[in-house]
Each structure stands twice: as C-alpha cells, then as structure tokens.
A and B are shown apart, each in its own frame.
Chain A
Amino acid sequence: MDKITVQCDPDLEDLIPGYINNRRKDIVTIQDCLGNNDFDKIRTIGHSMKGSGGGYGFDAITVLGDRLEIAALASSSEEINLAARELEDFILRVEVVYS
C-alpha cells in the first residue's frame, strides 16, 4: 500500500493523532447514519471536515468533507459511501511529516 505523505505544522504535532482519530470515528458515524438515512448528520460531519481539514494540513479531508456535504444534501448514499471509503483509505495510508 502506497503511503500518502502530508506535511503538517510541527506546532500541531500533539493535535494531529487526535484529529485523525476523530475522522475514524466519523467514518463509523457516517455508516450508522447511512443505515438510518440520517443525511443531515452526515452533512454536518462533511461540513465540519471541510472547515477543519485544511487548517490541520489535510487538504484531502477538506475536499472529502465538501463531497460528503454535497452528497448528503442530495441524499446520495452511493456518493457518501464512496467518499467515506476514500476517507478510510486516506487515513490508512497517510504518513504525516512535521516540517
């Protein structure tokens, strides 16, 4: 599996593991919400990811958050699933470099 290298601000080193872990929780929540057709909750999660990802240095999370938000507004389970899988893949492969 190829690693995705992301450069983050060394000042945020103590916050990054928690931030990544919160995204893992988001993936679980998104799956639960899909089962309940709770698109509004998924939209909120996507909106938050969009707003915070770039600040931590994860532009990919901002992009995926935007996709989740739009997909949730359209109640598109297929697109939500796809974006959630991409998020899962990103989290598995991401390698953070603090510089």
Chain B
Amino acid sequence: MAKKNRVKKSPRILIVDDDCDVLVLFSKWLKAENFDVVAVESGKDALAQISIARPDLVVTDLIMDEMDGMALLSEIHRQNPLLPVIMLSGQAKIPDAVKATHLGSSAFLTKPIEKEELVIEIRKYLHLSNNDEANDVQRFGEAIIHRSSKMAELLEQGKAVADGDITVFISGETGTGKEVLAKAIHEASARKDQPFIGVNCGAIPDQLLESELFGHEKGAFTGALSHHEGLFKAADGGTLFLDEIGDMPLDLQVKLLRVLQDFQVRPVGSVRSIPINVRIISATHTNLDRAVKAGNFRADLYYRLNVVPLEIPSLAERPEDIELLLEHYLEKFALKKGETKKVFSPDALNYLMTASWPGNIRQLINVVDLCATLNKTSVIPLSMAQRALGNDESDVKTLKEAKHIFERDYLISVLQLTKGQVASSARMAGRNRTEFYKLLNAHNLDPSDFRVIVEDEKK
C-alpha cells in the first residue's frame, strides 16, 4: 500500500528571555537546526503564546522582570504538565536548580551556553515528550484552530489516547469538526501510514450500508455485479471513522457489534469471515444515552464504542476561538483565490464573535467564503456579515425609516393612479394641494414624471 504523504512540521520552540541579544542568538541557532522558533521577551508574553503557538518545548531565562522563570514554569505546568521547559540562568546556583527541578523543569542550564549544548538538551527533551522525530514532528491536531482552554484540554485528551488502539467515541454538535479530530487521532497513532476511511452512516441508505461496510460477493443481491471488499477491509491496518453512528439501523448495529467483538467481517453473500485489523472511531451529534433508553440504539454496542468519550464543544461554547478561525479561513480563502486577504470590520467582528453559530465551524467557513466572495472591498462590513449569517438585522428598519418608505410608496401609487394629476392625488390622499406638494418634495417626487409615463403608454 502506498505510503500516505504527510506535511511534517518542525518542532516549535518558545524562547523566553528579556535580553534581545540572547533571543536573536538562540533563534538563529535553533532555526539553523530546523526548529520552528517563537521568541518573546517576557513571561507574560510567553503565557500568551503557549495556547496560540502551542510550542513543543520552552526555553526560558530564570531572571526576568515581573514574571521570572520559576513563576513562568509553574504557570506553564499548571496549564500543561507535559510541556518540557528548559531553564537557563546566568548563575549556577544549586538552590535555583533544585527548585526548578522540583517545579518540573526538564533541565537547568547555565549561560553562557554553547549552541551544541542547547541543541542537544532540546532534542533530548523533545524525545521525552514523545516527539521522537526530533526535527520532523507533526503536532497533534494542528488542523484544529483554537486558543480556548476547552479545546486545548480536548486535544490533550485526544493526544493521550491517540497512540493506542483504544476505541474512541466523539460527540459534538454538527459542524464542530468531529472528523477532523478523528483524523488527528489517526495521524498521531501508529496507524498513521495506513488508511483513514470515514463513512457517514446517516448518508447511506440502510440497505446499502451493510454492503458498504462489510463488502459483498458477486451476485449476493440484485445489482451486485462484482465483488466489493467493503470499508472495513479497505481500512485494514488503519482507522475506520463511523460518523453519525446513531443513524445506523438496529439490525446493522448487531452485525457491527459482532465485528467489534471478533475483529472479523463477513461480506454479504459470503460464507467466510475475513479477519480485519481496524481501529474504530465513531461519532454522533445526537444524544446516544437517550437513544439507548428509547431503544433506538443497542446498549451493548454503545458501551463497546464509548470506551474513550471525547466531547467537542460547540463554537458558541468557545467564543475566544472565533476571531482566530475567521482569520484562518479568510487567509485560506485568499490563498485559494490568489487574492489579497480581506478583513472583517471591527463591528462585523464583534457581531460574529457574539453570534450563536448553530452550524458551528462549517457555518463559519460558509460565512467567511460568502463574505470574501461577495465583498468587493478589502474590509467586510457588518451588513455583509449579518447577511452571510442569515440574520440580516440591517433589513429591520426603524419605525421612522419604515414610515418614510411606506409614505413614498403610497405617493407613487396615488400618482400612478391619477396619472400625475396633483389635484386628484391630493384629494385621494385627504390632503390639500400645498400639503401634498410638501410631501412630494420631501420624497423628491415629480408629478410630471408620471405624466410622461402616460405619454409613453400612448405611444
């Protein structure tokens, strides 16, 4: 089987030092060694970067103003105890080294430091943090754009269960990216070079789903003109993602349960079972607990699938990610079209950040694409964002505006009826001629325009 190509990324190192000369020196050294480097001058900036840049390792100076290296180390490990932190100090004080070790520092090194020593230590601790391909790792869930702690926590859980064959069950509203998370788990597993096959159980007619999943023999049923190996077999060695598992018919649930118990599939029309080696990741947007209670989903299958439950928060539950996602997809759109990236105006951004997003990320992508396509200027205004979101509040007029529109339409109707005769129109409207002329002036209407129409009609 052809090895699947992956875009591999260099490990990302966050360097923290309030000395610019050290920052540029370390950046130069590490970039030369193919590390991806993010350099910041304070502990506060470092903490801001942890959730944005998602470094694989942090190198920090000990003595810095405001937040020193020890405080930074504590805070980093409060958020992510697995992130390796290398502490550097201008003085080799044993108490500092002991304290840093107790706080979970991976290494305590003394400045000045040689390039080789720093690089060796970084490689060593990247290995400890499971980044075995020291210069060529794929960060877990890189495609999942986020800065929220809810998503960071979810990805930590996903990362923790990725490297094993444990069955994962993903729940989340439609459009939250269940398949993207499933793919991330696959990519971080030992099966990464084998196929990842996704199937939406709700999108395939019930009578075809069995054949799609388990395969069929030639002549097994009307229309089975040739042998079909099925998705379980196609995913052999890799991962099969069963999306919308809650939509699977009950009779097929029994067959799926048997496959999960025996790791064998029997194609439709065959008398022989075929052994398979597939990791199952399933997902649903529905409440399977409720479906089990209602008798629509088998409890035994549910427990078999729900070994590791991962729940993706809806977009509304992680509003801090919205701006980042909008930026990302605007950039993606611009790259795809070869255009300059457009931006949302501040009020459009505020509006989008507080929207409810029932369609989640999928809806957000559609909104970005629609806005970027329709908007001809570089700044996307609030009205366009509202229109794209299908909640066009700009269409709701104020009472004054509505009255004005009604009045103008009324005057036009009357003038059309009277063929521009002001005296008749005023009478119909219950106004004297002076008042009626004032109204016409207010709406910039000229009775003679309606007389022209009469003449045109005569022609």
Contacts and interface: CB of A to CB of B under 8 A. Distances in A.
Interface of A: 9, 11-12, 15, 18-19, 22, 47-48, 50-56, 62, 69
26 contacts: A11-B28, A11-B29, A11-B32, A12-B28, A15-B24, A15-B25, A15-B28, A47-B63, A47-B90, A48-B90, A50-B90, A51-B19, A51-B61, A51-B112, A52-B25, A52-B111, A53-B112, A54-B111, A54-B113, A54-B114, A55-B112, A55-B113, A56-B21, A56-B25, A62-B112, A69-B90
B107 interface: no
Contacts of B29: 11
Given A15-B24, A48-B21, 16 more contacts: A11-B28, A12-B25, A12-B28, A18-B24, A22-B20, A47-B63, A48-B22, A48-B90, A51-B111, A52-B21, A53-B112, A54-B112, A55-B22, A55-B113, A55-B114, A62-B112
- Which of A48, A50, A51 gathers most chain B CB within 10 Å? A51
Contacts of B61: 51
B115 interface: yes
Minimum-distance CB pairs A-B, first 6: A54-B112, A51-B111, A51-B90, A52-B21, A48-B19, A55-B112
Contacts of A51: 19, 22, 61, 88, 90, 111-112
Contacts of A69: 90
Prevailing SS type, chain A contact patch: helix
Contacts of A22: 20-21
Contacts of A47: 63, 90
A69 B90 CA distance: 11
B260 to A, nearest CB: 55
B35 to A, nearest CB: 14
Nearest to B63: A47
Contacts of A52: 19, 21-22, 25, 111-112
A71 B396 CA distance: 73
Contacts of A53: 112
| Most A Cβ at <10 Å: residue of B19, B20, B21, B113 | B21
A56 B63 CA distance: 20
A47 B21 CA distance: 12
A37 to B, nearest CB: 20
A22 B21 CA distance: 8
A63 B161 CA distance: 50
Contacts of A48: 19, 21-22, 90
Nearest to B27: A15
A64 B209 CA distance: 77
